Amino acid sequence: MNARILNTIGRWLASCLLLFTIGSCIDDEFAASTPGVIDEDGMVNLAITTQVPGLKVTRGVDVNGEEIATLWVLAFNENGNMISRVLADQTNNVQGSDGGNGIFSAKVPASTRVLHFLANVNMDNFSDQENIGRHENEVVAPLVSSSGNLVYWGRQAFASVDELTGFSATSGQSPVLLYRNQALIQYDLSSASGLEVEGWTVCNQYAYGTVAPFDASAVGISEDTPYHFDLKTYDYVTTVPEAYRIKQRDDDEVSTASGQEKGDPRYIFENINADDDQVY
């Protein structure tokens, strides 16, 4: 497959069916059935329902990576400074051959004006002590993941506390779209070609990629955010931090093509794909 084609299709792909619906789950001791209120501790309780599309497990990606195994919720105040990080509790999980869905619960401060949703992101080395008070551009933009793990990211902003509580109260009316941080690529043969693919592999790809798409050119621009990515409007490549610009070791042998799924899909990180250093 032509490397330029890979570069064209290798854009951030959205899991368009992967939606978050945020509702309110209020402490029984405070307001058992009232959605979208602030509790006596100044916290807003969220019930988070996830729907996972039927992505198939492919070579090079861990078995659990295509499902929501963990969900971190990072909260930032009106100045964009981090005020809390919480691992959402999974209260229900249903898996099937076509994917699955789950219900999570989390609690964020009422002073929250921005939420970042990080699914399947390894946060073992993340320090709350070092990051509380830091701007979201310093906290989220540098986060990376390895090629063996599919992660998802989403962001939601609120102009006021009323928007935050209203968001938590309206549930299915306020879906949050999550973006997968690796592009799915596959081959496509016309029936008239008479060709049969016995095996294929991707070479010269990066071993790490960023968790969130980040447009550095938007930093400091009023009424804009570097996290403004959407599939229809923006077309830019997020540069991975210098320490993680590492190429993955190429496969010693070409992988045998799978007959179970058309095109035998694989995942790769987005990259600039310069003419003298292309993915192929």
Token digits of residue 185:
């690529």
- Confidence (pLDDT) at 79: 96
C-alpha to C-alpha distance for 56 and 51, rounded to whole angstroms: 15
pLDDT digits (tens, 9 = 90+) for 100-139: 455 677 889 999 999 999 988 999 999 999 999 999 999 9
Contact 215, 48 (CB under 8 A): no
Q: CA–CA separation, 68 vs 230, rounded Å?
A: 21
Q: List strands edge to edge, sheet with 114-119.
A: 82-87, 71-76, 114-119, 152-157, 171-180, 14-24, 43-52, 99-109, 89-96
**3-class DSSP assignment, residue 50:** strand
Q: Indicate the pTM of the whole model.
A: 0.79
Residue 96, helix vs strand vs coil? strand
Q: Is the distance from CB of 63 to CB of 55 less than 8 angstroms?
A: no
pLDDT at residue number 193: 74
Q: What 8-state DSSP symbol labels residue 265?
A: -
Q: How large is the average pLDDT for residues 15-34?
A: 42
Lowest average pLDDT, out of 162-166, 202-206, 210-214, 271-275, goes to 271-275
Q: Looking at per-residue confidence, does 2 or 263 come out higher?
A: 263
Higher pLDDT: 32 or 44? It is 44
Q: Please state, rounded to an integer, the average pLDDT across all residues of the chain.
A: 75
Per-residue pLDDT at 28 exceeds 70: no
Instruction: Determine the pLDDT at residue 35.
Output: 52
Alpha helices in the chain (DSSP H): 3-9, 28-31, 128-131, 136-139, 161-170
d(CA 46, CA 38): 11
Beta carbons within 8 Å of 65's beta carbon, 6+ residues apart: 120, 148, 149, 150, 151
4 vs 33, 77, 99, 233, 273, CA distance in Å? 54, 41, 32, 21, 8
**Is pLDDT larger for residue 92 or for residue 242?**
242
DSSP category for residue 191 = G
pLDDT for res 64: 43
Identify which of 133-137, 200-204, 226-230, 235-239 has the greatest average pLDDT.
Answer: 133-137
Predicted confidence at residue 133, as pLDDT, reads: 98
Of 260 and 126, more confident? 126
Q: How far apart are CA 240 and CA 51, in angstroms?
A: 29
